[in-house]
Amino acid sequence: MPHGTQHADPGTAELETALRRGPFHVALRAAITARGLPLQRVQHHLSRHGVKVGVTSLSYWQQGARRPQRPESLRAVRALEEILHLPEESLIRLLASAEEEPGRTAGRSYRSLMEASGVLEELLAELDAPRDGGLHSIGHHEYVRIGGRRELLGRDSQHIVRAHRDGVDRFLAVHHGDPGSVPEHVVVRALENCRTGRVLRHDGTGMVVAELLFDMRLRAGDTFLFRYGFEDGTAGPSREYVRGFRGAGGQYALQVRFDGAALPVRCHRFSQHSTAAPRGGRQELRLSREHRSVHLVEQRVRSGIVGIAWDWE
């Protein structure tokens, strides 16, 4: 062997492969092994980060017997990335990808959701708008329409809000089209008690942000009801509809109605604590053949994501 040739550390090579290919428990086990830390030391480091996780749970995680799902567990995974000197989001990404169902193309990948989140922040900054808009949601009923080509035709929203500061006179509505959507062809409709203001579009992510203007300035404590919608129909087959919430709120109801020529074979509800978290809360939903629709109702929403997914033939 020529002088100066160096052998790659097998543990490091195994870790790099595991982080690239997964699954999560293999990558976690490889990272702990590469750092030479017993689980008791890993637990100690986590406690110094303000996260409490038992040694038994850590053992289950690296064996693949259980997967982190609760918010505290996901905090632990992010802390583990720092403790084990791993790239940011490397373990979280594996958790997210592991939740995709075999044989089913995800409507939103983790990468696309993160890109959309960044674009949304830029568009909101361009509108010089605070993220919460000074409004608290009391009730939100959303009606999604899927067309005969299995495409997202459009959606209508009825919103009831309460102002938590004086002077609020607008709401920013966000539409994230399915992959392949053409934002310039998406139409914003102000249906009741509002009118359309500025509209910003981003081709790369299919994002549309519309300013809906009220006819009055609300005072703190005032309630307001308005309706708006988006007409789309520009993308390919739709497989799910997702709604994200940044904080706790009131009731949320989602109804998805399908064209009679394109009915799914099954539908289910799901939830996520964040875009990076694994999906949970799966519940099969019965499709009404007469009305060609499914729905869910959340009496009080929490921070995170909730949605309905469906499978075509």
242 forms beta bridges with 307
pLDDT of residue 256: 98
**For residues 261-270, b (16+ Cβ closer than 10 Å) or e, as one string?**
ebbbeebbbb
Give the C-alpha separation, 181 to 229, whole Å. Answer: 16
Which CATH code for domain 110-311?
A: 2.60.40
Over residues 242-266, the mean pLDDT reads 92
- Tens digit of pLDDT for each residue in 126-150? 887 665 678 999 999 999 999 999 9
Per DSSP, the three-state class of 95 is helix
* SS3 assignment, position 234: coil
Name the pTM for this structure: 0.65
Task: Give yes or no for residue 271 having a pLDDT over 80.
Answer: yes
**Alpha helices in 36-70, H assignment, sequence order:** 39-48, 55-63
* Other CB atoms within 10 A of residue 57 CB: 17
d(CA 229, CA 216): 21
- How much is the pLDDT for 128? 78
Residues 268 and 189 sit within 8 Å (Cβ to Cβ): no
Q: Tell me the pLDDT tens digit for each residue of 147-197.
A: 999 999 999 999 999 999 999 999 999 998 888 899 999 999 999 999 999
d(CA 229, CA 175): 9
> What count of residues does the chain have?
313
Confidence of residue 11 (pLDDT cuts 50, 70, 90): low
Q: Which residues pair with 253 in a beta bridge?
A: 141, 297
Give the domain ranges of the chain: 10-98, 110-311
Phi, psi of 266 (to 5 degrees): -160, 155
Element at 75 (helix H, strand E): helix 71-83
Among 239, 244, 306, smallest CA distance to 269 is for 306
Give, in order, the Cα–Cα distances in Å from 52 to each of 20, 186, 231: 28, 47, 47
